[in-house]
Amino acid sequence: MAAIGRFQKDEEIFYAKVVDGELFRLRGDVFGSPSFDRKSLPRKGVKTLVPVMPTKIIAVGINYRDHAREMNRELPKEPLIWFKATTSLLPDGGKIEIPFREHRTDFEAELAIVIGRKIRNVTATQASRYIFGYTAAQDISDRTIQKSESQWARCKSFDTFTPLGPYVETQIDPNHLNIQQFQNGQLRQNSNTSQLIFKPAEIVSFVSTNMTLLPGDVILTGTPSGVGPIQSGDKLEVRIQGLAPLNNTVK
């Protein structure tokens, strides 16, 4: 497998492998040992959905060294995690909705981990075999609410606040990838996953010692420096080396 997406045509929802823009329908369990059609599927009338439907979304904060400096925060001794509502998911091409126009709401480009097997209490060395792949994400954040509360779930869980996709790349090394955020064509965030304080395997191991992770669960690994506010009409693009770009607009 390589890039795997989740799609809809008419009333049917299905997974497919994406090769040079062509779709090859997946047969069987996407997290098992699936097969793929040899003939590509016409793209006409096919809608791209969020690539997986997780039972939970977990976010990690203050996980880039440059972002910690930007926020004048000490480097954490262990991953700082919280939950985001699954109803906050938004596919590539979807519109981010700002619920309170008077609040400051920020973009945050992130690399997301997709879990491929049930996992509980494993080491970082073991964790990589439980990872299905990686995709691009945004962790949209209402800063006004975030500053007024000690926990961050509400400010990051409004509907449309977790753009994800478009596809899951199953064959990539996540530890040295360029990650960029563009806003209306202007480069706002520009870093590399080598800046991560806790690497993906370490994050998965840590989370697995606290809770069971299931196939399709998503972990956002944190955002680099350069976060900034969004407003209606903005066009946002997350580019992560080796992954398909994630594009969304704001209303």
- What is the residue-averaged pLDDT of the chain? 96
pTM over 0.95: yes
> CA 166, CA 94: separation in Å to the nearest integer?
11
Is the confidence at residue 1, as pLDDT, over 70?
no
Q: Which domains does the chain have, with CATH numbers?
A: 3-48 (2.30.30), 57-250 (3.90.850.10)
- Of all residues in the chain, the percent with pLDDT exceeding 90 is 94
Instruction: Summarize pLDDT for 26-38 with one digit per residue, the tens.
Output: 999 999 999 999 9
User: Tens of pLDDT along 127-186?
Assistant: 999 999 999 999 999 999 999 998 999 999 999 999 999 999 999 999 999 999 999 999
Beta carbons of 48 and 5 less than 8 angstroms apart: yes
Q: Which residues are CB-neighbours of 163 under 8 A, at least 6 positions away? A: 89, 90, 91, 92, 94, 96, 137, 138, 140, 236, 238, 246, 248
**Alpha-carbon separation of residue 116 from 29, 43, 96, 190, 196 (angstroms):** 11, 27, 27, 29, 22
Q: What is the pLDDT of residues 183-207, one digit of tens each?
A: 999 999 999 999 999 999 999 999 9
Look at strands 22-27 and 12-19 and give their pairing: antiparallel
Q: Are 25 and 4 in contact (CB under 8 A)?
A: no
